[in-house]
A = this chain, B = another copy of it.
Amino acid sequence: MTDLIQPVILCGGAGTRLWPESRGDRAKQFLPLTGAQSLFQQTLARTPADAGFAAPIILCGAAHVATVGEQIGALQASLLVEPMARNTAAAIALAVARADADTLLLVMPSDHVIADGAAFHAAIAKGARLAQQDWIVTFGITPDAPETGFGYIASGAALGQDGFAVDRFIEKPPLADAQAMLAAGGYSWNGGIFLFRAGRMRDAMLTHCRAIFEAADRAVAAAIIDGDALYADAVHFAEAPSDSIDYAVMEKDDRVAVVPAAMGWSDLGSWQAVHTLAAQDAAGNAVTGDAFLHDSHNCLVRTGGKRVSLVGMDNVAVIVDGDDILVMPLNRSQDVRVAAKARE
């Protein structure tokens, strides 16, 4: 059994919720949204070697290999390159297929914010103890609002001081259900961070989603290795059904634990969320770049190298990227997809 926890960072995602900055080959995780570092770089920094973590494994698509290389810099890391997107179960299966059975894999999205690193590490310590007992561990984000955009986890029996057996997973709920869960307590958001012994996940996959694991396993066996990067074989990987790890494994397995954690988590899933987390001036404005704001409040302005002037505007986002300029009320942030779809 290894002493180190092996970070596995999922970089395969794309998405348009932060369009126009996030699009095509520039995924959200590679953008500097909350400071100088990208969310991916912040994720890397969250599991440093001096805190007992192994050099990270980065799961990404071929289109992002160059960006990953740039953003890693001198950090020691290895890449598992997905020849095509096959959702999280197949991606994680690549890492599982490569790992020793007793290695603890800590799977993390690369596009979330975790403000409280100490709380995160404390939760990992708890999760590691459960994972050693062959629990598949998910970390539950303590809800602070009746969000309808996240999946929820209902906690069951306590597992000592470390967490709870998962009673059930609840898909993105209607508002009334979200409000009821928030009021009742005992529920947490599913943040998509997982910790498990590799052999335990291998067995679970062979039980619950054998086709996915076997395709990934063959794709690894036939992979091309280029320095620190392993390029999974495309023909084999293409045979993996596309499914999320939640559907493929977590919701089906009977030994899944949740470790609740209040760690300043955000999925930064909208420009409104970016505004909330960004440094704001006294008027509530969060500005990146050359912006002039007069009598304007609670705005998010990202100038993309242009010069943006706001006069008398409140509660809007103005996002400039290349030749694209997006203007919308922050509370309409979820509708950015309409513009992204029309434009891309």
Contact = CB atoms under 8 A, between A and B. Distances in A.
Given A294-B339, A335-B294, A343-B292, A325 B311 contact: no
A313 B329 contact: yes
Determine the main DSSP class of A at the interface with B: strand
A336 B342 CA distance: 30
A interface residue count range (under 10 / 10 to 19 / 20 to 34 / 35 or more):
20 to 34
A23 to B, nearest CB: 12
Contact of A339 (B309, B320, B342): B309
Contacts of A295: 332, 335
A327 B310 CA distance: 5
B309 A329 contact: no
Nearest to A304: B325
A307 B303 CA distance: 14
A316 interface: yes
Contact of A318 (B324, B325, B338): B325
A306 interface: yes
A214 to B, nearest CB: 44
A20 B316 CA distance: 20
A335 B312 contact: yes
B332 A307 contact: no
Given A311-B336, A312-B332, A332-B312, A327 B324 contact: no
A260 B153 CA distance: 76
A338 B327 CA distance: 21
Interface string A5-19: 000000000000000
Contact of A311 (B303, B311, B328): B328
Interface in A290-323: 292, 294-295, 303, 305-313, 316, 318, 320, 323
A311 B330 CA distance: 10
Contacts of A310: 326-328
Contacts of A318: 325, 327
A309 B309 CA distance: 17
A313 B342 contact: no
Interface in A127-173: none
A327 B338 CA distance: 21
B308 A342 contact: no
A309 B292 contact: no
Contacts of A292: 339, 342-343
Contacts of A309: 20, 324-327, 339, 342-343
Given A292-B339, A292-B343, A325 B306 contact: yes
Nearest to A335: B311
Contacts of A342: 292, 294, 309
Nearest to A342: B292
Interface in A260-297: 292, 294-295
A328 B295 CA distance: 10
Nearest to A299: B327
Contacts of A338: 294, 311
A343 B326 CA distance: 21
A305 B292 CA distance: 22
A327 B316 contact: yes
Interface of A: 20, 292, 294-295, 303, 305-313, 316, 318, 320, 323-329, 332, 335-336, 338-339, 342-343
